[in-house]
Chain A
Amino acid sequence: MAEITLVEAVTLALAHEMEQDPTVVVMGEDVGVNGGVFRATAGLNARFGDERVIDTPLAEVMIAGMAVGMAAQGMKPVVEAQFEGFMYPMVDHIVNHAARLRHRTRGRMSCPAVFRAPWGGGIHAPEHHSDSNEATWAHFPGVRTVIPSSPSRAYGLLLAAIRDPDPVVFLEPKRIYRWQREEVEDNGEELPLDVCFVLRDGTDVTLVTWGAMVKETMEAALELEQQGVSAEVIDVATVAPIDMETILESVEKTGRCVIVHEAPKHCGVGAEIAAGLADAGILHLVAPVKRVTGYDTVMPLYRSEMNYMPSTERIVHAAKETLEYA
């Protein structure tokens, strides 16, 4: 069993499912011979050919719109947007069509497509290459939004996303594409969608996050431990729909919750989680729910981007704030 990175786990899952299911095709800009700008489709074109690993013209509307058509006619397109910032032209097709084809046709048709994109900041990328736009997708009914945060979850969740009978937006945290290596067995076992993963048990405060922020959040948990605070860490993984049950169970135990995300605060997925806690967990809370997020600003160019990203220090500070109440 090889130790692989998150981006290699994406490739492994794509290859596995293409091998198993002849209806799976990969489409996008530079996904063919070039193997994707982050190498997520490296080697797939040579292995599966031009008809299953398809280089497209530079046209995101075309990519998303054709994915809807192909998915509705018996294929499983896994399309790649080169960066999350180039997904915005796809909104029309994902929101007006992919997300509601089943509903509009009373189940006569469906759209089992996957829309993948490298997502988030922190890699010194150019303008429009570093957004965290998961809340955009999470807001729209009819489409799941899934974000892995480790090689094994990338493998298992991508398999589940491809096999799911409905459309999935699959956002890959590019900052941790090559951060850690993990042993991932290519056994075709998927991980469940719509559930959180508890990454660390704790009793004093629950830290809820997803994507690349798992890195800083785990670091914060270690630092809190040194200060005598026991933090539980939850990776939400599927940010729409949210598995509130797991989060509520944790908060029932800790009474405190800090939500961490790189995306802007306003109407972020953190707001939905906080509302869920206000609704169903209020009697267990002993402190206000805190959010540590990116600011409601445009993601800065790279020289300032780390001033934007939530730091371990901010997470620790917020966790300690919740401890001041009780």
Chain B
Amino acid sequence: MAATIASFKVDYFRFLDPEGRLVDGVQVPALARDVKQLVSLYKLMTLTRVFDKKAVALQRTGKLGTYASCLGHEAAHVAIGSAMREEDCFAPMYREYAAQFYRGVKMSDVLMYWGGDERGNDFAGPKHDFPWCVPIATQCLHAAGAAMAYKLHGQPRVAVSVVGDGGSSKGDFLEAINAASAYKLPLVLVIVNNQWAISVPRDKQNNARTLAQKGIAGGLPSVQVDGNDLIAARWAMDKAIAAAREGRGASVIEMMTYRLSDHTTADDARRYREQDEVDTAWKHEPLLRLRSYLVDQGAWDQVKEEELLGECAERVQGAVDEYLDRVTNDPQPIDAMFAYMFKNLPHHLEEQREIARRFPHKGGHH
């Protein structure tokens, strides 16, 4: 006997094309008609871009450490953050600033973190959200654990985690899918596929047509969306979060986007990727298309744009001032190295703290 006992397909969704026109012949989500909300989300995307540019400039002038830019990911990140409720839990990787800004993390928190000050991880935003997660994909399992806690507590809360195309190659991500499937967890795993893991292109991670299908392999509903289309990305998030909250289990969403920047400021992408590819990607970037759509709807114009850019520059400068003032005039004392190691400081650390106090670094701050 021979029979097909399983088969799969991965659906792709895009509602707003790169020119900012609604795609013909598809029923668009209600958000497409909610111009007021779109304008509000567009404003956050713009603020994030202005912030990002400033952060890179701060690094270049020695005022910030290595910084991971989010250039080009704004729609995906705003979609993620804006689809969540405050009581939900976000387990980010390390460049989802727009999602975090929506949730209440301050721009100065981001600057503190990349500025080499642990206080940046003490978010102004939801106190239950996980800190930035540099070790790659480990956050997916923490989100699965958070989802498990909500399920066991009977709370209608959802955990959301983000991983990159590179991170989707790690066991942690696949193990999170398995756990979410086995325990029917209220979890949303988002692969923000920006095509590059530092210098390694997407097709060197694996030869599968999509990364979303990894979710299907684990038994989770999984889709791919145009991650530069805010409407599609947000629609997929809304659907996945509703399913998770209503007890229907976890989902995987692959958001297709492009890393328009270097991996971090410590990287130089010119060493390994063609400028043509980057130039093409700029034609698909998310702000441009949403702006075009809003202009067509009569909801946006050049005057508003300039006014917004002015406001954003002012807010970003305020955050920069706050960051620089804090690290300059209110730096962490040496004791901070010891203060948070344990709730109750063990004796040997008290002794080491004395040594540290006695021998502070003499070269000033870096």
Residues of A whose CB lies within 8 Å of any CB of B are 29-30, 32-35, 37, 55-62, 85-86, 88-89, 124-129, 265-266, 295-298, 300-309, 311, 313-314, 317
Q: Given A57-B205, A58-B200, 11 other A-B contacts at CB below 8 A?
A: A30-B198, A60-B170, A85-B135, A124-B116, A295-B353, A297-B349, A303-B115, A303-B331, A303-B365, A307-B337, A309-B361
Answer whether A298 and B341 are a contact pair too, CB < 8 Å, given A29-B200, A32-B199: yes
Query: 8 closest A-B pairs (Cβ-Cβ)?
Result: A58-B166, A34-B199, A302-B116, A303-B116, A57-B169, A306-B361, A301-B116, A59-B169
Min C-beta distance of B336 to chain A, whole Å: 7
Contacting residues, chain B, for A34 (C-beta < 8 A)? 198-199, 271-272
Pair count A-B, CB < 8 A: 135
Set A35, A85, A86: member contacting B271, Cβ < 8 A: A35
Complex: A85 Cα to B114 Cα, angstroms: 17
Flag whether B246 is at the interface (Cβ < 8 A).
Answer: no
Min C-beta distance of B331 to chain A, whole Å: 7
Complex: A32 Cα to B197 Cα, angstroms: 13
Min C-beta distance of A53 to chain B, whole Å: 12
Min C-beta distance of A221 to chain B, whole Å: 18
Set B135, B171, B199, B360: member contacting A307, Cβ < 8 A: B360
User: What's the dominant secondary structure at chain A's contact region?
Assistant: loop
Task: With CB as the reference atom, state the residue of chain A lying closest to B135.
Answer: A128
Residue-wise, chain B 74-107 has the 8 Å CB interface mask toward A (1 for contact) of 0000000000000000000000000000000000
User: What's the dominant secondary structure at chain B's contact region?
Assistant: loop
Judge whether A61 and B266 touch: CB under 8 Å. Answer: no
Min C-beta distance of B205 to chain A, whole Å: 5
Judge whether A58 and B197 touch: CB under 8 Å. Answer: yes
Task: With CB as the reference atom, state the residue of chain B lying closest to A82.
Answer: B198
Answer whether A86 and B135 are a contact pair too, CB < 8 Å, given A55-B200, A307-B337: yes
User: Taking each of A59, A125, A308, A309, which has the highest tally of chain B beta carbons within 10 Å of its own beta carbon?
Assistant: A59
Set B134, B170, B171, B362: member contacting A313, Cβ < 8 A: B362
Judge whether B349 and A296 touch: CB under 8 Å. Answer: yes
Min C-beta distance of B357 to chain A, whole Å: 10
Judge whether B366 and A124 touch: CB under 8 Å. Answer: yes
Answer whether A308 and B205 are a contact pair too, CB < 8 Å, given A33-B271, A37-B266: no
Complex: A192 Cα to B248 Cα, angstroms: 61
Judge whether A126 and B65 touch: CB under 8 Å. Answer: yes
Judge whether B197 and A29 touch: CB under 8 Å. Answer: yes
Contacting residues, chain A, for B116 (C-beta < 8 A)? 124, 301-305
Answer whether A303 and B169 are a contact pair too, CB < 8 Å, given A124-B66, A126-B66: no
Contacting residues, chain B, for A303 (C-beta < 8 A)? 115-117, 327, 331-332, 365-366
Residue-wise, chain B 340-366 has the 8 Å CB interface mask toward A (1 for contact) of 010000001100110110011111011
Min C-beta distance of B350 to chain A, whole Å: 11
Judge whether A313 and B332 touch: CB under 8 Å. Answer: no
Judge whether B204 and A57 touch: CB under 8 Å. Answer: yes
Judge whether A128 and B337 touch: CB under 8 Å. Answer: no
Answer whether A127 and B337 are a contact pair too, CB < 8 Å, given A55-B199, A57-B204: no
Set B166, B204, B267, B355: member contacting A37, Cβ < 8 A: B267
Flag whether B37 is at the interface (Cβ < 8 A).
Answer: no
Complex: A26 Cα to B194 Cα, angstroms: 26
Complex: A110 Cα to B66 Cα, angstroms: 40
Task: With CB as the reference atom, state the residue of chain B lying closest to A313.
Answer: B359
